[in-house]
Amino acid sequence: MTKQAALASSGTARKVSSKQLREIIDAYSMLLPTILGVLIFFAIPLAISLYLSFTNARISTPVSAATFVGLTNYGNVFKDSNFYLALRNTLIFSAATLVLSILPAVVLAVLLNEKIRGQAFFRALFFIPVVASVVAISLLWRYLLNLDFGFVNYAMSLVGLPRIPWLTSPDWALLSVILVFSWKTVGYNMVIFLAGLQGISRQLYEAASIDGATRWQQFTRITMPMLSPTTFFILITTLINCLQIFDVPYALGYGRSTTIGPADSMLTVVPLLYREGFISDHMGYASSLAWVLFIMIMGITFLQFRISNRWVNYE
């Protein structure tokens, strides 16, 4: 309490009344669990993580026993062919997922926003994959995409298409990760788009149709610009999530060996980090990988904000 009182008096020059003091004490007692939690489980780990990235830390040795190795780990990241493979896979995955989880979401949201029966029903239907366990649906898709007995290849054979080695060929494996993740995410994006659409005033469309605008013109001149803040939000959050993807490639791609997908074709940055840190026991190296990823995410997000004022339309 004395510490809080001291904080209060240093923060405000004027004399603190007992009522104000009471409020400060209440506030800090309400925040106490959060402050302690963030310190122990976030702030301190963050600092240790930065430190470890300059050491040769191991699983079994305590943090204090790690030897300082300078920038070696960071140098190794950029010499590691696995890192470039993971980076390439992560970027391809992210770019493709942006398209495949956002475009269908816009179309579905626009359709649902019409005066259509069963809007709530369809909305709930599309949301089911969002709430389902990621590992469970990944295993489900492992079954559906199986080369020999999977339903997808069977359905394709019915319309005369060839069988595809979705999960067993390095050429197709990453596409499978993209399809499964997009399938899971599209309903989530759709709900956000639908909320954005419902915020657009109906009068805009009425005025436009009186002026003789076609449906397509209404979409490109009203819907698209009015929806751009929503689109921007979804782009930012989807990309941040994609760059950190772990569970779908891991659950779809792990097998008897430690590779993620055939010839590591599903390996993205976070699974690589997990493998380096917790299987190969290179914790220092894993920490430096994490910081490279962090800086990359910050950089890409910053870039998106810089570009956004060219196309995002705030009222």
CA 147 to chain centre: 29
Provide, rounded to whole angstroms, the least separation between the CB of residue 303 and another protein: 15
**Residue 161 sits in the site that holds another protein (CB under 8 A):** no
Q: Which member of 297, 304, 308, 312 binds another protein (CB under 8 A)?
A: 297
**Residue 5 sits in the site that holds another protein (CB under 8 A):** no
**Residue 44 sits in the site that holds another protein (CB under 8 A):** yes
Q: Which of residues 163-182 bind another protein (CB under 8 A)?
A: none
Q: Which of residues 99-118 bind another protein (CB under 8 A)?
A: 104, 107-108, 110-116
Question: How far apart, in whole angstroms, are the C-alpha atoms of residue 52 and residue 68?
Answer: 8
Number of residues that bind another protein (CB under 8 A): 113
Angle at 233 (CA atoms; ends 290, 97), nearest 5 degrees: 65
**Residue 125 sits in the site that holds another protein (CB under 8 A):** yes
**Residue 46 sits in the site that holds another protein (CB under 8 A):** yes
**Residue 38 sits in the site that holds another protein (CB under 8 A):** yes
CA distances to 98, 285, 314 from 234, in Å: 9, 32, 15
- b/e map 224-251, b = 16+ CB within 10 Å: eebbbbbbbebbeebbeebbbbeebbbb
Q: Which of residues 234-263 bind another protein (CB under 8 A)?
A: 234, 237, 240-241, 243-244, 246-247, 250-251, 254
Q: Which of residues 18-37 bind another protein (CB under 8 A)?
A: 20, 22-24, 26-28, 30-31, 33-35, 37
Q: Which member of 133, 217, 220, 313 binds another protein (CB under 8 A)?
A: 133
Q: Which of residues 61-90 bind another protein (CB under 8 A)?
A: 62-63
Nearer to another protein, 91 or 192 (CB): 192
**Residue 42 sits in the site that holds another protein (CB under 8 A):** yes
Q: Which member of 80, 98, 123, 228 binds another protein (CB under 8 A)?
A: 123
**Residue 7 sits in the site that holds another protein (CB under 8 A):** yes
